[in-house]
Structure formats: C-alpha cells, structure tokens
Amino acid sequence: MNFASGLSEELYSLEVDEEEGFLYWSMKYNIQRKSLNGSGSTETIYSNDLLSKITGLSIDLSRNPRRIFFCDFDKERSFYKDVNQSLTTAHDLTAYMVDPDISKLRDISYFNGTLYWTKGDNPNGIAVMTDYDQSSRSFDIKENLGFQKPYQLLIINP
C-alpha cells in the first residue's frame, strides 16, 4: 500500500496505532490518518492554517478516544487534542511551558503520563512536562550537551 501517493505537502512525522488500525502523519498545518489496511479515505484529524510546520506527533494509546500531542517547530507551540474533537479544536500547552527558552522544540513523545520534547538549540536538551492536563503541571528543560540538534525522540518500554 502506498500511503504517500496524493500527499501535496511535506510529511514531517508518522505514528502508528496498531490496536485501532491507523497510521497518523503530520504536515505543515494538518494531521491526518488512514486505516493501516489501506481501506477507506484519508481523514483529517486537525487543521490550522496559522501553523506552518507540525514536526512533532505522538499518541496516548491508552485513551479511548485516542489523544494526540503535537508541536509546531516554526511557531514554537505545542498542543493536544482527542481525535473525536472538531477539526480545529486543540488545547495549547505553550502557556504552561514556563521557561524563557522553549524555542526549537522539534519532536514530542508521550510516555506514561509525561510529555517529552527534543530541544535543538543552545542549550540542547530534553523538555519534560508532567501532569499536563492538571492544574499542578510542571515543566523543566534538562540540558544535554551530548547531542547536537536532536530531531526525533523515541521512548521504548522494555
């Protein structure tokens, strides 16, 4: 199955939901999905013409409906939404990222209730947010000079 045929924009991030049977991808200002078996049409999950480069995408696979997390590299903003919400609905996380330098967040990953971002500018590091949907949320950037301009983040539960 060729999922890329018909795409009119640059593809930035891919996520697979094997249990529900969908492939999700992000482009400039859209997030779309299609059935893994290739049946049916492509469904737009989120669209916002004010965004320009949704480079990060992650899914909370424990929720029903699924919750997706995404960040826009150019606009320096991060969001989450449930896939059953309207096409333009998303909750902005950026206001809770209380650090003077949240620029250059390239990728986002959700793992065990915590959000992680790769930060690819001086200083390089990993940004971490716990309790993102609670009033007691916390945000911190952990500097890591061991890598340069990280682009992707993959967390695996052994």
pLDDT tens-digit map of 10-60 = 888 899 999 999 999 999 899 999 999 989 999 999 999 999 899 889 999
pTM, 2 dp: 0.85
For the domain bounded by 13-143, which CATH number is listed?
Answer: 2.120.10.30
pLDDT at 135 over 50: yes
Q: What are the C-alpha distances in Å from 149 to residues 102, 107, 118, 125, 126?
A: 14, 11, 8, 9, 11
Strand pairing of 114-119 and 22-26?
unpaired
- What pLDDT digit, counting tens, does each position of 111-131 carry? 999 999 887 776 778 888 898
What pLDDT band is residue 105 in, cutting at 50, 70 and 90?
confident
Q: What is the pLDDT of residue 1?
A: 44
Helix (H) or strand (E) holding 140: strand 138-143
Would you call the peptide bond into 100 cis, given omega within 30 degrees of 0 as the criterion?
Answer: no
Picking from 156, 123, 115, 121, the residue whose alpha carbon sits closest to that of residue 142 is 123
Strand partners, 115: 110, 129
Q: Classify residue 77 as exposed, middle or buried by CB count within 10 Å of its CB (0-12, 13-18, 19+).
A: buried
pLDDT at 91 over 90: yes
How much is the CA Rg of the chain, to the nearest whole Å? Answer: 15
